[in-house]
Every structure is written in structure tokens, then in C-alpha cells.
């Protein structure tokens, strides 16, 4: 039992049940007077095992927030943690290793290494570390591959797969090394609605089974309705933090926010 009872600036995120956390995040592009503020004082924690949707209209800063939380971009000011480690101020090498070992990614498109087959793409996070999955990890990968329906596709190249299949491979890769946190950037943006629903269901159930957290950036209320929590951004600030909901409820909330703006 740790002797840390007061929540202060130095509280480590795991004490709060968080796998990732940002405080007072500011990101500006360019220099004054023409500078653009993408994030304007955002503080947010992603809870363990939770599926969080980050929503907002175009230009609201949701992608920038994801990029900074995932260590792909650096904030102008503010602090960022992944797990208990503060990544603000990490050098490129440390950030690279953090992404490699502790974070999974599913992008809207162009998710897979085109020259590697499906199996090699899924094992890619291990290969980056110069190792092969051990028996337990192989069993876990087999399980994911089975539940995502990819077992008979392992020798296929990405170009031989449909968009939905490619996203499923990306999900398998993101879950394979059991990172605490998976970032998904509009993962259904390029899919038809039925395939999109299926991908989201798989993402949600895979994460809840393995206790991994998911932070998904989207502007689609239907996609967000799969989440346990919906955080809404507008003009670089968090304007709502909802405990999930149906697509209709989320749409209504979004429209109200738009109307207020």
C-alpha cells in the first residue's frame, strides 16, 4: 500500500486508475499573430479497461489530442503520461520505445505494412523489438486471429484484403502485444456502415476481454455509441464528458454543442 493519499500534481496516474493522462495541454501551430490554437488547456484521463470516444467537429483538436497522448506529437505546454511514465520531455528514442511497447494504433487508412503478409503485420510489434512471441503470446495472438476471423488470411498481402479485413488485421496487431492503451483514429471512416459496426464490436469486445483501454477519435455518433464514455471537444477545449449513450442521444448532444458555439 502506497502512502499517497492526497491527489496533488505529483499523483501518479495509476493511483487514479488511469492508463493515460494529460494535464493543461496546449498546442499552438505557427507564430503569433497568425498562430492557431489546436488545444487550449485540455486535461483528461483515460481509465483502465474503458472504451473512450473522443468526438468533435473538424478542427476541434481531437486528432491533435490523440497524437499528443500517443507520443506522436509534442505539446506546446502541459504534461502527458502513459501509464506511470511522463512522456513529456522524452527524447525521440524513448518516445519510439513507448509507442512500440505500450501503445497500439488503428488508423483510418494505410494501417498495414504493404510488403508484409497478414501474419507478419500482426507480429510486427514483436519484430520491432527484435524478438519472437513466446508461447503465451502466440496463444493470445491465435485467439485474437480466431476471434477476428483472420485465421485463413494469414498468408495474404494487405492489397488482397477488403477494407474491413484490413482494419481487422490492424486491430489484431494493436492488441497482439497487449498494450495498455489502443488509439484508434476514425477506424471506421473508410468502411461501409455494416462492416464499420462489425469492426467496432470486435474492437470493443476484444478490449473488454483483455482489459485494454481504447481511445477512439471519431466524428460519427454511431461509432461513438459503442463507447463507454464520450468526450466532446470543440475549439480545443473539452465541452462535454458523457457516460456513453445511443447514437441518437450522442447526436442530440453534439447538435446542442454545435448550436451553442
How far separated are the first and last CA of the chain, in Å rounded? 46
Asked if 125 is part of the footprint of another protein (rule: CB under 8 A), the reply reads yes
Paired sense of beta strands 181-185 and 103-106, if any: parallel
Q: Which of 26, 90, 128, 239 binds another protein (CB under 8 A)?
A: 128
Q: Which of 7, 9, 93, 243 binds another protein (CB under 8 A)?
A: 93
What number of chain residues touch another protein (CB under 8 A)?
Answer: 31
For residues 59 and 227, give the distance between their C-alpha atoms in angstroms, rounded to a whole number: 22
- The least CB distance from residue 252 to another protein, in Å, is 30
For residues 114 and 150, give the distance between their C-alpha atoms in angstroms, rounded to a whole number: 17
Three cell numbers, residue 5: 493519499
Q: Which of 35, 43, 77, 96 binds another protein (CB under 8 A)?
A: 96
Q: Which parts of 48-140 are beta strand (E)?
A: 51-55, 77-82, 85-86, 103-106
Map residues 171-210 to x or -, x wherever contact with another protein holds by CB under 8 A.
-------------------x--------------------
Asked if 30 is part of the footprint of another protein (rule: CB under 8 A), the reply reads no
Binding residues among 33-62 for another protein as defined by CB under 8 A: none
Three cell numbers, residue 194: 455494416
Q: Which of 101, 178, 219, 237 binds another protein (CB under 8 A)?
A: 101
| Residue number with CB closer to another protein (101 or 178) | 101
Asked if 91 is part of the footprint of another protein (rule: CB under 8 A), the reply reads no
- In a 10 Å sphere around its CB, with 0-12 CB exposed, 13-18 middle and 19+ buried, how is residue 30 labelled? exposed
Which residue has 496463444 as its cell numbers? 139
DSSP 172-237: HHHHHT--SEEEEESTTTTS-HHHHHHHHHHHHHHHHHHT-EEEEEES-HHHHTTSSEEEEEETTE
Binding residues among 59-88 for another protein as defined by CB under 8 A: 67, 70, 72-73
Binding site for another protein (CB under 8 A): 67, 70, 72-73, 92-93, 96-97, 99-101, 105, 107-111, 113-116, 120, 124-125, 127-128, 130, 157-159, 190
Amino acid at each position: 500500500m502506497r502512502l499517497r493519499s492526497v491527489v496533488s500534481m505529483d499523483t501518479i496516474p495509476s493511483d487514479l486508475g488511469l492508463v493515460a493522462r494529460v494535464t493543461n495541454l496546449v498546442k499552438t501551430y505557427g507564430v503569433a499573430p497568425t498562430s492557431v490554437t489546436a488545444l487550449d488547456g485540455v486535461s483528461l484521463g483515460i481509465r483502465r479497461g474503458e472504451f473512450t470516444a473522443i468526438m468533435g467537429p473538424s478542427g476541434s483538436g481531437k486528432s491533435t489530442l490523440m497524437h499528443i497522448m500517443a507520443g506522436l506529437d509534442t505539446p506546446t505546454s502541459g504534461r502527458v503520461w502513459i501509464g506511470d511514465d511522463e512522456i513529456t520531455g522524452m527524447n525521440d528514442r524513448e518516445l519510439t520505445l513507448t509507442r512500440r511497447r505500450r501503445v497500439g494504433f488503428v488508423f483510418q487508412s494505410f494501417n498495414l505494412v504493404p510488403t508484409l503478409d497478414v501474419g507478419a503485420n500482426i507480429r510486427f510489434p514483436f519484430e520491432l523489438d527484435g524478438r519472437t512471441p513466446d508461447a503465451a503470446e502466440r496463444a493470445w495472438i491465435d485467439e485474437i486471429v480466431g476471434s477476428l476471423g483472420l485465421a485463413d488470411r494469414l498468408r495474404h498481402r494487405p492489397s488482397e484484403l477488403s477494407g474491413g479485413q484490413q482494419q481487422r488485421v490492424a486491430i489484431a496487431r494493436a492488441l497482439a502485444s497487449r498494450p495498455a492503451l489502443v488509439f484508434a483514429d476514425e477506424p471506421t471512416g473508410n468502411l461501409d456502415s455494416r462492416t464499420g459496426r462489425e469492426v467496432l464490436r470486435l474492437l470493443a469486445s476484444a478490449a473488454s476481454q483483455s482489459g485494454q483501454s481504447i481511445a477512439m477519435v471519431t466524428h460519427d455518433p454511431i461509432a461513438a455509441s459503442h463507447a463507454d464514455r464520450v468526450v466532446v471537444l470543440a475549439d480545443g477545449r473539452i465541452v462535454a464528458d458523457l457516460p456513453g449513450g445511443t447514437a441518437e442521444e450522442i447526436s442530440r448532444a453534439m447538435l446542442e454543442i454545435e448550436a451553442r458555439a
